[in-house]
Amino acid sequence: MKKFVTTFTLISSAVLLAGCSSAADPSDTAAGSADTNPSAQQDTGANDGTFSIEKITSCDQVAEAVAPYIEGLVPLEGSNVSSTSVYCSWGSGEAGTDLSDIRGVDVTLTPTPEQPDFSMLLDMKGTEALADPWVAEQGGTAFAHTVDIGLVVTIGTTVWVPGVEVSIAGGKWDGVPSLDGPAGIEVAKALLTQ
């Protein structure tokens, strides 16, 4: 039951917010291992002002950006880093037996050259556009979708800047910093400006 609830909660946020993101290629490298693609060693961001995921070569790098939110969580199977996508996931594992003990964080980055049409998502109940000076300076957009079922509040944040879409599934839990919209933007900035 616990795994189902965790999976359902995280997937519902990720599906709502990452509809335009491409899936990882099954032949890509496993989480935590460096991509063997030589282009993965190049600088983040092209000379034309677009961003790239090329400097992210492991979920360990992503973990640094979300460290306060994944404290006490364990890396989950299925995490994957490649030259075409990044997906890193952490969950509460077998800890706790109460719904309020279930936590999870997912981070997805995908190359997305053109701004997707987010209008349908922005019209959904629980979705709010996020104003952020850094995102605006890049010509990007950001929004968060919140699902509050009482004991559990999940928050999915999407940040698009030219070249990359970042989706972060997190939430609010007692005794742990909230991974809400503004915090998600800070995580995205940390990952994109490495």
CA dist 160 → 88, 110, 117, 138, 183 (Å): 18, 10, 11, 9, 15
Category of 103 on φ-ψ map: left (φ > 0), alpha (ψ -120 to 50) or beta? beta
Asked whether the predicted pLDDT for residue 173 surpasses 80, the reply is yes
List, for residues 38-55, the tens digit of each pLDDT value.
333 333 344 466 899 999
Instruction: Tell me the percentage of the chain whose pLDDT exceeds 90.
Output: 59
Asked whether the predicted pLDDT for residue 19 surpasses 50, the reply is no
Pairing mode of beta strands 74-75, 127-129: unpaired
Average pLDDT over residues 170-191: 93
